Structure 1
Amino acid sequence: MARIVIVSARFGAGHDRAAYALADRLNGHEVEVLDFLDLLPPALGGRLCRLYRRQLQTAPRSWDWTLRALGGPRGAALASRAAGLARRGLREALGDRTDLAVSTYPLASHALARLRGRGELTAPLAVYLTDPAVHRICVTGAADLHIAPNHLARQQARALGARAAAVAAPLVASAFRPAAPPERRQAREAFGLPGEGRLALVTAGSWGVGQVRRTAHDVARSGTVTPVVACGSNTALRDRLRAEGLAHVFGWVEDMPGLMRAVDVVVQNAGGLTSSEALAAGLPVLTYRCLPGHGRANAAVLDRLGLARWIRDPADLAAALASEDRPSPAAQPAEDPLPLLEKLLDRA
């Protein structure tokens, strides 16, 4: 039995859900999931998480500027130095026996790379890329393999210095799957949603950041669908939308697979996790009023691949919501990531 350590971070939910989806599928191995923020000096991880969330909520354009700065020649070096703050905690957490290390979060990748450079990690290192588009800080030349969710992401990773890159299907929980007609009715009843008519799920990740309010009202004004809004942990947004008369507004949803089985289309702002989950559920996906920075980069890749149409003009929204076109299954990678990791274990 191999010991596999997966390092994620609780910045939103995308990195964590990919990590735990992978852990659930690694049957027969001893798997531990670590949070990068908990490996930093005391209290620093929590402060960084709160700062990032506040930045996206109050000054989202500044995140665009941040990513541009990190995408420059010195970006990877800066990320590596920042990741070095977790080196001691990570080395202790890895212990004396680690047969494979996997990262689902960029700074964790660089922290593991620093351990390899110092000879403190001798096990193979894999990086799982959670977003459709790849930023410079997501790639480290120390990794044995980068696993990308599409062929464009693989090309980007190779261009940014990945020694080896492969494509595999995005890691999502198995509960995200197309709904049978009875399940659609049951899900609508469970969530108190209309039994008839088309429903559009408006979602913006676990934190409910971005132009969610404007998106929800634009969807309602389209006249083609009824909006169902998932606000995540953003209770202020939930309360405001309810006060403004939207009938189907949720805060934190525990059963997101069930909610997706109730709707006909998903409108999101280019989060990698939401797109992957919706596509696994067999739903058409639209990107609208996307987040700056990684949101726009993800939107461009998803649109180019034909996986999620990027609606840039509000005038085009109604027609897109009324369309029942779905991505071709051929547009989505079907390769399982597990054999790729097993090959690394064989080399260990």
Structure 2
Amino acid sequence: MMTDMGPTGPGPLLLITASMGSGHTQVADELARRMSGRVRTRMVDLLEILPWHLGAALREGYGATLRRAPWLYEGVFRAFFAPRPHWQPDTSPLARLAARRLRRVVADCAPCAVVSTFHLAGQAVGMLRQQNRLRVPSVVVITEPAAHVLWNHPATDLLVCPYPWVAEDSRRATGKPSLAPGPVIGPQFRMDGPGYGAEVGAAGRQRLRLEPGEHAVLISGGAWGMGALTRAATQLSLVPSVRPVVLCGRNERLRRKLDGAQGCLALGWRDDLSVLFAGASVLVDNAGGTTCAEAFAAGLPVVGYDPLPGHGRAGVKALIRAGLVTDGHPSLSSAVAALCTPGPLRERQCRRAAEVFRADPAEVLAGWLTDQGVPLSPAAGG
């Protein structure tokens, strides 16, 4: 994937992402949209430019491991991604391979700056900076609530983080500027944005097929529909007035299995999540990533339940510690019931979640690039 947006002029802003799930590409797409009025943008999927079909193998291997041997991915995460006090296993061979491929992209488009929304991309671009093969700023936009070591490369010039504690950890790890304007999410999720009124909530309830007095609890498994979604739906089907709605992503097999079972509504990939959020009462999440941040913006309280291994578990735990997510253990049913209706717990959690959106990340990025001498135009709006 290589796409260009925006006006002509100096070299483009190069956005490097990875189609590993959908969160990294969603963030890159939204940044490209917001920056397109200021500078031409080019987007590259790192997995597509790796040789020997290695990108597809990484994506498929990651998915297969999570589905069939989650304990193995947890071990890999602890060995290679989690910080270790004495010896850190080396991931540089893969990053060097990615850096060699990115050298060609950089030479081809001569970017004014490079923004990475995937950790391996940040490592590869950092190597190019260290080798003096990239002489423009390297920015890493972290998409997770717990930044593992591969997000933090010492040659990165700026880290844009979703939450303050992520910025503190990255600043400590790299010694470089680390800012926390808030997560990068689409404007349609902002409950204070245009068009997010009572009629959207009514449309959401209609699409969720709710009866009067019934609460929809969305259960998210990400783009791949992974995790203990069936177990969560089974538990919530026993809660009075609750309608479990499983977001199966692109897992069509799971959707067919769950739809209609024990009163459960199972949905495939959706482009109208903001409308569904407006009609729902709670989100149950197992990763703490982009879907979770979108719920924060929409004023939808979140319960963390049986998180995915590795970065999923680390992220959900970080959000629980920050008071942005309610822990679904030991009782998912009790946690959901406590948040379904208005009350101090729901109000406190939603207020804290709304406070993480401190500034527009694109505005922060544009301001920093301008300070570094990168030629940008005034925003065209939108």
Into which bin does the TM-score normalised by the smaller protein fall?
A: over 0.9
Secondary structure (helix, strand or coil) at the match of 2:199 reads helix
> Which residue identity lines up with residue 308 of structure 1 in the other structure?
V
Q: Is there any run of 5+ residues in structure 1 with no aligned partner, and where? A: none
- Looking at structure 2, the residues matched to 180 and 275 of structure 1 have their Cα atoms a distance apart, in angstroms, of 21
- Looking at structure 1, the residues matched to 146 and 100 of structure 2 have their Cα atoms a distance apart, in angstroms, of 30
Secondary structure (helix, strand or coil) at the match of 1:229 reads strand
Q: Paired residue for 1:340?
A: 364
> Which residue identity lines up with residue 145 of structure 2 in the other structure?
P
- Looking at structure 2, the residues matched to 31 and 265 of structure 1 have their Cα atoms a distance apart, in angstroms, of 36
Check if 1:142 corresponds to 2:165.
no
Q: CA deviation at 1:226?
A: 1.1
Q: Paired residue for 1:104?
A: 117
- Looking at structure 2, the residues matched to 229 and 24 of structure 1 have their Cα atoms a distance apart, in angstroms, of 29
Secondary structure (helix, strand or coil) at the match of 2:262 reads coil
CA deviations on 1:27-48 (whole Å, 9 max, x unpaired) are: 2210111111012103111111
CA deviations on 1:33-81 (whole Å, 9 max, x unpaired) are: 1111012103111111100011111111222111110123654x62332
Q: Paired residue for 1:51?
A: 61
- Looking at structure 2, the residues matched to 316 and 193 of structure 1 have their Cα atoms a distance apart, in angstroms, of 21
1:21, 1:173 within 8 Å by CA — same for their partners in 2?
yes
- Looking at structure 1, the residues matched to 143 and 45 of structure 2 have their Cα atoms a distance apart, in angstroms, of 15
- Looking at structure 1, the residues matched to 102 and 310 of structure 2 have their Cα atoms a distance apart, in angstroms, of 29
Q: Paired residue for 1:249?
A: 266
> Which residue identity lines up with residue 91 of structure 1 in the other structure?
R
- Looking at structure 1, the residues matched to 157 and 38 of structure 2 have their Cα atoms a distance apart, in angstroms, of 22
> Which residue identity lines up with residue 230 of structure 1 in the other structure?
L
1:38 to 42, 48, 63: 48
Q: Is there any run of 5+ residues in structure 2 with no aligned partner, and where? A: 1-8, 374-382
> Which residue identity lines up with residue 126 of structure 1 in the other structure?
V
Q: Paired residue for 2:232?
A: 215
Q: CA deviation at 1:254?
A: 2.2
TM (normalized to structure 1)? 0.93
Q: Paired residue for 2:24?
A: 15
2:351 to 315, 328, 333: 328
Q: 78-87 vs 190-199, which deviates more?
A: 190-199
Specify whether residues 164 and 293 from structure 1 end up closer, same or farther in structure 2 by C-alpha distance, changes over 3 A only. Answer: same
Superposition RMSD on alpha carbons, in Å?
A: 1.9
Structure-to-structure mapping, 1:218-233, within 5 angstroms = 218-233=235-250
2:21, 2:224 within 8 Å by CA — same for their partners in 1?
yes
2:237, 2:262 within 8 Å by CA — same for their partners in 1?
no
CA deviations on 1:223-248 (whole Å, 9 max, x unpaired) are: 25211111001112111112633341
- Looking at structure 2, the residues matched to 80 and 107 of structure 1 have their Cα atoms a distance apart, in angstroms, of 10
- Looking at structure 2, the residues matched to 108 and 193 of structure 1 have their Cα atoms a distance apart, in angstroms, of 43
Q: CA deviation at 1:196?
A: 3.8
- The percent identity for this pair of structures is 32
CA deviations on 1:86-139 (whole Å, 9 max, x unpaired) are: 223212222252111001100000111111122211110111010111111111
Structure-to-structure mapping, 1:233-244, within 5 angstroms = 233-242=250-259, 244=261
Q: Paired residue for 1:277?
A: 294
Check if 1:84 corresponds to 2:93.
no
Q: Paired residue for 1:4?
A: 13
Q: CA deviation at 1:323?
A: 4.6
CA deviations on 1:238-280 (whole Å, 9 max, x unpaired) are: 1111263334111111222222122111111133111101111
Q: CA deviation at 1:214?
A: 0.5
